[in-house]
Amino acid sequence: MLHPTTTTQSGLVLGVCCDQLMQHQHQQARPGILTMLAKKEMHMMMSKDLAMQEQSEKRLLTTTRSWFRCWPPPCFILFVSLLEVAVFVYASGETSMEDSLLIYSPEQRLQLWRFISYALLHCSWLHLGFNVSTQLLFGLPLELVHGWWRTCIIYLAGILAGSLGTSVVDSEVYLVGASGGVYALLAAQLASVALNFGQIRHGLAQLMAVLIFASCDLGYAVYSRTLEDRTRPTVSYIAHMTGALAGLSLGLLFLKQFQGGGRPRLLRWLALGVWSAFSIFAITFNLINTVTAQLLAEQEGKVIKQRLLHDLGME
């Protein structure tokens, strides 16, 4: 038989031991709980990152699909290419290209359609094939992404810039070929990549491809113009450079920028200013040059008439 005091003390000792044992087990279990919570939080973060990545990829895929629309089809570049081929076939039977109503002639500057229509004429099948294949290669993707009317404005502006630039710098050249429009498309492709560089895969490779292609063709044009003796109407390399200027400036002004907000106001004003300054100067130069040439011709005609009347004794 135990003494009551001894029994009470034993119970107290047993209770204290149980409490210490529970605290020890709780301390041992706490690191395991923290580890499980950390793993769960890490799993949630990884799941969130994967969901955001999938959403970003879906958004990029949706944006890419919206860029390359198959409807409406790229009708402008196809139409222009077929028209150039048809005109070349029709005009191939003409004996002298200089007498064509389409060629840009420095003596016929008042016939304003010649500043655009010269692009429909080409010197040879090689010249035609190169221009048509190049504008199909670079113009079709541009029209699929940015629409036909933007591509039309850039192409026609490049052709007009080619004839205007040639009339100022190389004013005695008869001009044929769509090189001004082709180089406008090349430069517009550069503008498109620059505006959407973060959303285009292999953007740097596209930039380098366009630059290498344009440099090689421009170098060949300069070589052909300076070293070869051409008696037929030829394409001035000035048309390449001014066409590229038009394509780059109007591309930065008109082409779509799909993400990142609107383009900087300074960039828009700079592009507009470059194109406007070039156009105003070239048009003013042609007007003054044409009026001056007419006045000189009239004065020369009066002098010749007076000499003729004097020689005939009718003065």
Question: Of these residues, 100, 105, 179, 192, which one is catalytic?
Answer: 179
pLDDT digits 0-9 by tens, 222-231? 666 666 555 4
At residue 2, the pLDDT reads 43
Max Cα–Cα distance, the chain, nearest Å: 172
At residue 297, the pLDDT reads 67
Q: Transcribe 253-314 into DSSP letters.
A: HHS---SSSSPPHHHHHHHHHHHHHHHHHHHHHHHHHHHHHHHHHHHHHHHHHHHHHHHTT-
Active site includes 192? no
First and final CA of the chain: distance in angstroms? 169
CA distances from 162 to 64, 75, 122, 179, 263 (A): 33, 23, 15, 8, 27
At residue 307, the pLDDT reads 63
Handedness of CA 101, 105, 111, 113 (dihedral sign): positive
What number of CA atoms fall less than 13 Å from residue 94's CA on the CB side?
Answer: 18
* Rounded (10°) CA dihedral 187, 191, 193, 196: -170
At residue 290, the pLDDT reads 80
- Nearest to residue 188, comparing CAs of 164, 171, 206, 172? 206
At residue 305, the pLDDT reads 55
Here the tokens at position 315 are: 């003065």
Here the tokens at position 238 are: 């000035």
At residue 12, the pLDDT reads 45
Q: Domain-by-domain residue ranges, the chain?
A: 72-288
Angle at 122 between CA 121 and CA 128, to 5 degrees: 120
- Domain 72-288 class, CATH top level: mainly alpha
**Residue keyed to tokens 């099948």:** 125
Looking at this protein, which amino acid is placed at residue 177? G
Question: Of these residues, 122, 127, 146, 240, which one is catalytic?
Answer: 240
Portion of the chain with pLDDT greater than 70, in percent? 62
- 72 three-state secondary structure: coil
Q: Are the C-beta atoms of 179 and 162 separated by less than 8 Å?
A: yes
Active site includes 279? no
From first to last of its 315 residues, what are the pLDDT tens digits of the chain? 444 444 444 444 444 444 554 555 445 545 555 566 666 666 667 666 666 666 655 554 454 454 455 566 789 999 999 999 999 998 887 767 888 899 998 888 889 999 999 999 998 898 899 999 999 999 998 999 899 999 999 999 999 999 999 999 888 888 999 999 999 999 999 998 888 877 776 667 777 888 887 777 777 666 666 665 554 445 577 888 999 999 999 999 999 887 765 667 788 889 889 999 999 999 999 888 887 876 776 666 665 656 655 554 555
Which residues, 6+ apart, have CB-to-CB distance to 234 below 8 Å? 123, 173, 174, 176, 224, 225
pLDDT digits 0-9 by tens, 246-257? 999 999 999 988
d(CA 105, CA 111): 9
d(CA 245, CA 265): 19
At residue 115, the pLDDT reads 95
At residue 159, the pLDDT reads 96
At residue 72, the pLDDT reads 67
